[in-house]
Amino acid sequence: MSATCPPPREVTRKPTLVAPKGTCDCHFHIIGDPAVYPFAPQRSYTPTGADEAAYLRLAGTLGIERMVVVQPSVYALDNRCTIDAVANFGTHRARGVVLLGSDVSDVELKRMDAAGVKGVRFITFAAGGAPLDQLKTVANRIAAYGWHIQMYVRPEHLLDLAPTLKDLPVEFVFDHLGAVTADKNENEPALNVILKLLDAGKAWVKVTAYRSSLAGHPYKDANWITKAYVSHAPECCIWGTDWPHPQMHHYMPDDGDLMDLLLECVPDTAVRNRILADNPARLYGFA
């Protein structure tokens, strides 16, 4: 367990990018009161509070109208905070992605589905989620609900999983540019695994780029990865803030800056609007 994370910026710069109607933040976390929502003892970091009111302030500045609350690893399989947050935002504009294992009950799945959950997260960058060997079982359990599996796994794990994924009855959403880092190039095997899944209509990619950067702020060294995905499959790219940016100990990114990276990587407004609004509406079932 590491030191407490610094809080996100209280003030966000208004981006130059004008968010289109229906803009959806497909990746952020709500961190509630630890007295109500205790953290898992086995966790990779300790976040600071990040509640719905603070998030909505950010959303107002950026022009976000829809939002997908992603279960943070620090709560492990206790999804109450995330599901409560979806309820607080309201399912007219919010969805959730949870952490769970293959032993989840059907009653639980039904309950979560009704609460606006659309996917299950597998993560190997932090402790807290179910191990990857449960992925196949989970995929088979959730397929009936039309949920997807959201992946944030190291490239070497992805290469191991690649032969399995394409035959599973669910779609996959890759976080953080599929965890491809800026020092790689277009021959990177993990990138090509994801591109193939995109070709097969089995995958979506979050063009949230800053964690792929090695140079740090303003993170432009990762622009090539965003461009690679967007030019390959603009209809399957989505975007998220990753607010409150856990574990950014050295420099807390400004979400206005992060959003404007899209202006550089995706200069075509029509394509950008698909990424920000139309694609997430399809994936998460917003009317």
Nearest to 195 by CA among 162, 153, 218: 162
- Compute the distance between CA of residue 239 and CA of residue 26 in angstroms, rounded to an integer: 6
| Alpha carbon distances (Å) from 200 to 116, 118, 146, 234, 264 | 26, 21, 17, 14, 28
Residue 30 makes CB contacts below 8 A (sequence gap 6+) with 50, 51, 52, 55, 69, 81, 82, 85
Instruction: Give 4 or 16: the residue with its C-beta nearer to other proteins.
Output: 16
- Contact flag: residue 254 with other proteins (CB under 8 A): yes
> 155-165 and 135-142 are packed helices; what angle lies between their axes, rounded to 10 degrees?
50
Tokens of 242: 């990753």
Of residues 2 and 16, the one with the C-beta less far from other proteins: 16
Site for other proteins in 215-234 (CB under 8 A): 217-218
Contacting other proteins (CB under 8 A), which of 6, 7, 9, 46? 9
- Given the DSSP bridges, would you call strands 148-152 and 117-123 parallel, antiparallel or unpaired? parallel
Question: Among 242, 255, 257, 278, which one carries the catalytic annotation?
Answer: 242
The one segment of 3-11, 26-34, 105-113, 164-172 that binds other proteins by CB under 8 A? 3-11
Task: Give yes or no for residue 12 binding other proteins (CB under 8 A).
Answer: yes
C-beta of 24: minimal distance to other proteins in Å? 22
Q: In the stretch 177-216, what mask flags binding to other proteins with x, by CB under 8 A?
A: ----------------------------------------
- Whether 221 is catalytic: no
Tokens 């790689």 belong to residue: 184
Q: Which of 257, 271, 278, 281 touches other proteins by CB under 8 A?
A: 257
Asked if 133 interacts with other proteins (CB under 8 A), we say no
Rounded to a whole number of angstroms, the minimum distance from the CB of residue 13 to other proteins is 6
Total chain residues near other proteins (CB under 8 A): 11
| Nearest Cα to Cα of residue 192 among 207, 202, 180, 182 | 180
Q: Shortest gap between Cβ of 6 and other proteins (angstroms)? A: 14
Contact 239, 282 (CB under 8 A): no
- If we measure between CA atoms, which residue out of 54, 15, 57, 75 comes closest to residue 239? 15
10 interacts with other proteins by CB under 8 A:
yes
Active site residues: 242
Residues that bind other proteins (CB under 8 A): 9-14, 16, 217-218, 254, 257
